[in-house]
Amino acid sequence: MAAEKEKSKTLKTINKLVPDKKDTLPDMFIEICSALDESPQFQPIAHHVRAMIVEKSGHPGAGDWPIRVVDELDPPNTICWRRRVTARFDKGKRQFVPLDHPQSVMENARLLYLQEEHLQNGLKNGRFEQTVQRLRDELCPNGLLFAMIDGSSGSKVIERQLTMMMMKHRLNVIRVEGPEDAATWLYDITADLGFKPHRYELYVNPVHN
């Protein structure tokens, strides 16, 4: 009887309506490599996005949350996301059911962070498009692929090249001006990814205890 009550309590807890994106932030990790973490261009961005997530989530930043630094990513200017998963959505039962053990799951999304000068060099030698194509091939068909470019080119040729790549590789190009702008975009993407499973559950199964 006690076990059944505990199971019922657990199901009720994990199926509690999550109406706000910020409520899922404690389960999300932004993953970067040590080279990007040590980059003077990216350090202020990391500072701002860490502060935003901590403030909006109401959870103190500790250990490797919300930014997890790993030894290596390919390429090193890649940003990934991981989610701490404790339940899965059972479509048959139309509810979340607990996992036996928490899992760390890589999100189906990648972001390339570049300074404008690095983008221009990458477009000239073809390496940027090669990298974009490789990352697109590594992602699942519905994966999200972003290129965050810090600065503006003012070049119609470059913008035309980017537009072609957006269509060819389903690349989402984000132009930012400075650390706070970049951090806001990273926060928004992180919050959207975190809320995605709950958005599905919110509309498919709108009845909650």
Q: Could you tell me the domains of the chain?
A: 22-201 (3.40.50.10130)
Q: By CB neighbour count within 10 A (0-12 exposed, 13-18 middle, 19+ buried), where does 2 fall?
A: exposed
pLDDT, position 127: 97
pLDDT for residue 112: 98
Straight-line distance from the first to the last Cα atom of the chain, in angstroms, rounded to the nearest whole number: 21
Are 184 and 52 within 8 A, CB to CB? yes
Per-residue pLDDT of the chain (209 residues; tens, 9 = 90+): 666 666 666 666 666 666 678 888 999 999 999 999 999 999 999 999 999 999 999 888 777 899 999 999 999 999 999 999 888 777 887 777 878 888 899 999 999 999 999 999 999 999 999 999 999 999 988 999 999 999 988 899 999 999 999 999 999 999 999 999 999 999 999 999 998 876 555 444 444 43
pLDDT at 1: 61
Give me the pLDDT at residue 8, please: 66
Asked if 148 and 113 touch (Cβ cutoff 8 Å), the reply is: yes
Q: Which pLDDT value is given to residue 202? A: 47
88: part of which helix (H) or strand (E)? Answer: strand 78-90
Say what the pTM is.
0.86
pLDDT of residue 93: 75
Q: What is the CA radius of gyration of the chain?
A: 19
Per-residue pLDDT, 178: 94
Q: What residues contact residue 105 under an 8 Å CB cut-off, 6+ apart?
A: 82, 83, 85
Q: How far apart are CA 152 and CA 120, in angstroms?
A: 11
Distance CA 117, CA 153 (A): 9
Q: What is the pLDDT of residue 97?
A: 80
